[in-house]
């Protein structure tokens, strides 16, 4: 588990702020009729104009600056001019930036126009599961306490937790050890260390937890075709508590 210095944390905070601002900007563009490729182009320009680099672009061959995952797409939806947002859709936007060698990573699920109460509830419970999880993110405690709390909260509302994809450490690289599952036992995982930075990211399905990987090698969809939501922040663990860098 990384332990970043005060000087490194200055750069992590800036990376987190740009990530947050880029997500907030993309949210203002989301409306029926816009394509996910347009969202990607606008996000890329915003990140570059902010003095950062889109960390997703060309990451292990990924062809875009954001992941844009609509309805039953859990994560890693590749932006396309053929995917046009419609009234009632939900879309998960996941993006990351590199600022002077340090990474920010965050995701939100947004409504497209007016959505059903069922979809709105899924978005809200997914978001709250993140906050329930980080209540248990404490120096000297097992990392498994976080995933256990996320799983317990989501399942208590009738939802399921995706298990094939997990959160991660973050710092000089977008993905660093350790993995941060959104499920498990309180006794799982390593002990949390001071000044660690982690990306905590519940992925919650309205239906069953089973997922499939698309033929493009990136997109992950629910097996039952029901919607999924995603909520992620980069966080910094201190003795005093958790600092959310992307909020």
Q: Which residue has the tokens 């409306």?
A: 31
Please tell me the predicted confidence (pLDDT) of residue 200.
Answer: 98
pLDDT for position 182: 98
Closest alpha carbon to 13 in 123, 170, 227: 170
What average pLDDT does the segment 94-109 reach?
98
Q: What is the pLDDT of residues 39-51, one digit of tens each?
A: 999 999 999 999 9
Mean pLDDT over each residue of the chain, to the nearest integer: 98
Query: Left, alpha or beta for 72 (phi > 0: left; psi -120 to 50: alpha)?
Result: alpha
Please write the tens of the pLDDT for every residue from 4-16: 999 999 999 999 9
Count CA within 13 A, CB hemisphere, residue 235: 29
Tokens standing for 176?
A: 């660093």
Helix then strand count (H, E) for the chain reads 4, 15
Global pTM value:
0.96
CATH number at 6-244: 3.90.230.10
Phi, psi dihedrals of residue 230, rounded to the nearest 5°: -140, 135
pLDDT of residue 168: 98
User: Percentage of the chain with pLDDT > 90?
Assistant: 99
Query: What is the per-residue pLDDT across 123-146, written as a single tens digit (0 to 9) for each?
Result: 999 999 999 999 999 999 999 999
Split at pLDDT 50, 70, 90, the class of 69 is very high
What are the extents of the domains in the chain? 6-244
Per-residue pLDDT tens over the stretch 209-222: 999 999 999 999 99
- Of all residues in the chain, the percent with pLDDT exceeding 70 is 100
Q: What is the mean pLDDT of residues 161-166?
A: 98
pLDDT confidence band for 118 (50 / 70 / 90): very high
Beta bridge mates, 53: 98
């Amino acid at each position: 588990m990384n332990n970043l210095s005060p000087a490194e944390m200055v750069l992590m905070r800036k990376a987190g702020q740009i990530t947050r601002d880029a997500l907030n900007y993309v949210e203002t563009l989301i409306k029926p009729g816009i394509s996910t490729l347009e969202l990607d182009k606008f996000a890329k320009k915003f990140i570059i104009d902010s003095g950062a680099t889109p960390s997703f672009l060309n990451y292990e061959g990924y062809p875009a600056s954001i992941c844009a995952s609509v309805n039953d797409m859990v994560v890693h939806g590749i932006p396309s001019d053929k995917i046009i947002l419609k009234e009632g859709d939900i879309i998960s936007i996941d993006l990351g930036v590199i600022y002077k060698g340090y990474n920010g990573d965050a995701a939100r699920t947004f409504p497209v126009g007016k959505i059903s109460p069922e979809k709105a509830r899924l978005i809200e419970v997914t978001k709250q599961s993140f906050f329930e999880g980080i209540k248990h993110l404490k120096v000297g405690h097992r990392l498994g306490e976080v995933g256990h709390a996320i799983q317990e909260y989501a399942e208590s509302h009738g939802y399921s937790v995706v298990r094939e994809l997990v959160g991660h450490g973050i710092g000089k690289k977008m993905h660093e050890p350790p993995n941060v599952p959104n499920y498990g036992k309180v006794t799982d995982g390593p002990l949390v260390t001071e000044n660690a930075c982690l990306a905590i990211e519940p992925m919650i399905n309205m239906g069953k937890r089973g997922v499939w990987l698309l033929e493009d090698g990136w997109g992950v969809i629910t097996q039952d075709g029901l919607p999924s939501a995603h909520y992620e922040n980069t966080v910094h663990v201190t003795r005093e508590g958790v600092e959310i860098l992307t909020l």
